[in-house]
Structure 1
């Protein structure tokens, strides 16, 4: 009998955890031919989310929880869930019920009977949000698609991954992981299913505009070096501009009617100064990424788990490859109190 595991990353979702659990069980009642497990990844919640997970785990052996020592980010929470899994397929889904659990049987059908290795939920339309946020989101997808060569239009983290895909994803060496982008980059046979995001039953999103901007910037740097190429193009444009301006200045000087004032000088300095700052900012983003990779710090730290056999391992660290020359995955490093 095949096994499906639900990876549920969350942050401060105490009011939605049990609602999600009950909704999911309702949808799974008709799937008796499958074993399933629900794994909640608590990404450093400061409310009662962990207590809710512990209660569910005590009541149902198919529920387990993993708790980070602090907030490491959703991407690392997804990675932790994938590393913990031994299922034939995993479904990554949010606990806020905006990803419709009613589509889970359709995901499983596409994987089990149609042979797809990846099944992805795609937004048919965006949820209610400000005009600014909608414009920024659409601009991001346009830029990412053009710069990376991957099509992620309205793609979400709501995905089913076959075990083969999970293993290939985990084998990728980089520290900064963009889940959706890397799944698309792997190129396995994929089916997309449209859905309309549901309204949150309770609580508010933990994503601020600043965090979304940082997330978008990080994913663009991960999948494209176009900003570095843009520096070369910008340098060429500035060279042409400087030559034309120089020729014009010399012509006016020779003719004896050079313009008075510093307007041209000031504008030139502003343009050159902004171009230099843009270039330094772009280069700095890539240098910072290299610096993060070279530090080779653990991706996350697990402080607690609900699985009985792992209760003595209060802190679990999953590092990236500690030896650069080794191609084999690094072993899990565990520390006990």
Structure 2
């Protein structure tokens, strides 16, 4: 039996580019003889014709698997669902927007066969993105490198190929607040980067605005480091020490020179400053407590309303059953 390679593609409202993605990806398959392939298309509660197109592709191509979630759970959950349903000896992740060219799969497979468990795509250029998005992304990766104990490679996205043992290890991590770039790095295993120039979207609009990117970055920081809590502790200690010194000075001044009613502006600035620090620290605590609350519910990461397996997955399932 030939080795099976699964391609996981999470999609939300990607009807304008889905057929083109299928065409480009199957063309990459033709350049890799000797392997079986399946494309695991995951519909993350799309409101356009994305799911209809997925079912159409599955009816025409037996290599296509469709996993439709019951609603929009977010890209991280959709990606997790795709990895859970992928049957391959190796599993690759691509976005449907073709910013990560399917031709990367050829290099991914070459390095996988050379013994690497994780082969990830590293961007040398980011076409179609504003200077603000590029600069904030660089700042985020720089911050994570400083405060996280897990080394997350710079300028990488979700696009990568993983061996079966890496995918199985990733499947054991079931936290709800998922930052997949960090989880990919957390599992370890031999890894190598493939440099490429990231292209602009082939069609359609990005689903990530700056507010979503901010929340995504916050998820990454709170999921992989307690540095904000430690920072709040240090800042609180320093301010408490300074407040103690200032209080001692006020008492000494009053005993020596007497009490003169002055300093209202200074008092207001001090009170507002300390109040702001306290509210900031409470907010940091709230972020972590909120995540604890979310994890404590024990809800499933996603729910599936439709699953159309690929032919390769059926064959493997039947073979395992025998």
Q: Secondary structure at the match of 2:120?
A: strand
Task: Tell me how far apart the structure 2 counterparts of residues 262 and 269 of structure 1 sit (CA, whole Å).
Answer: 11
Residues 84-95 of structure 1: pairs in structure 2 closer than 5 A: 84-95=85-96
Q: 1:301 aligns with which of 291, 303, 311?
A: 303
Distance apart, 1:182 and its partner CA? 1.2
Task: Tell me how far apart the structure 2 counterparts of residues 238 and 232 of structure 1 sit (CA, whole Å).
Answer: 10
Say whether the 8 Å CA contact 1:127–1:197 is kept in structure 2: yes
Task: Tell me how far apart the structure 1 counterparts of residues 265 and 259 of structure 2 sit (CA, whole Å).
Answer: 16
Count of equivalent residues: 308
Task: Tell me how far apart the structure 2 counterparts of residues 273 and 215 of structure 1 sit (CA, whole Å).
Answer: 28
Task: Tell me how far apart the structure 2 counterparts of residues 47 and 258 of structure 1 sit (CA, whole Å).
Answer: 71
Distance apart, 1:301 and its partner CA? 1.1
Q: Secondary structure at the match of 1:221?
A: helix
Moved more, 217-226 or 243-252: 243-252
Task: Tell me how far apart the structure 2 counterparts of residues 59 and 130 of structure 1 sit (CA, whole Å).
Answer: 38
**Which has the bigger relative contact order, CA under 8 A and spacing at least 6?**
2
Distance apart, 1:143 and its partner CA? 1.4
Distance apart, 1:132 and its partner CA? 2.7
Distance apart, 1:176 and its partner CA? 2.1
Q: Which residue is 1:267 aligned to?
A: 269
Residues 1-337 of structure 1: pairs in structure 2 closer than 5 A: 1-112=2-113, 114-149=114-149, 150-253=151-254, 254-256=256-258, 258=260, 260-307=262-309
Distance apart, 1:218 and its partner CA? 1.0
Q: Secondary structure at the match of 2:198?
A: coil
Say whether the 8 Å CA contact 1:152–1:181 is kept in structure 2: no
Say whether the 8 Å CA contact 1:141–1:154 is kept in structure 2: yes
Relative to the length of structure 1, the TM-score reads 0.87
Moved more, 78-87 or 135-144: 135-144
Q: Which residue is 2:315 aligned to?
A: none
Say whether the 8 Å CA contact 2:42–2:78 is kept in structure 1: yes
Cα displacement string for residues 44-98 of structure 1 (whole angstroms, at most 9, x for unaligned residues)? 1111111111111110110121111111011111110111112100000001000
Moved more, 246-255 or 274-283: 246-255
Task: Tell me how far apart the structure 2 counterparts of residues 31 and 272 of structure 1 sit (CA, whole Å).
Answer: 63
Moved more, 235-244 or 11-20: 235-244
Task: Tell me how far apart the structure 2 counterparts of residues 28 and 203 of structure 1 sit (CA, whole Å).
Answer: 25
Gaps of 5+ in 1: 310-337
Task: Tell me how far apart the structure 1 counterparts of residues 249 and 101 of structure 2 sit (CA, whole Å).
Answer: 64
Q: CA RMSD in A?
A: 1.6
With over 3 angstroms needed to count, the CA separation of the structure-2 counterparts of 1:228 and 1:308, relative to structure 1, is closer
Distance apart, 1:251 and its partner CA? 4.1
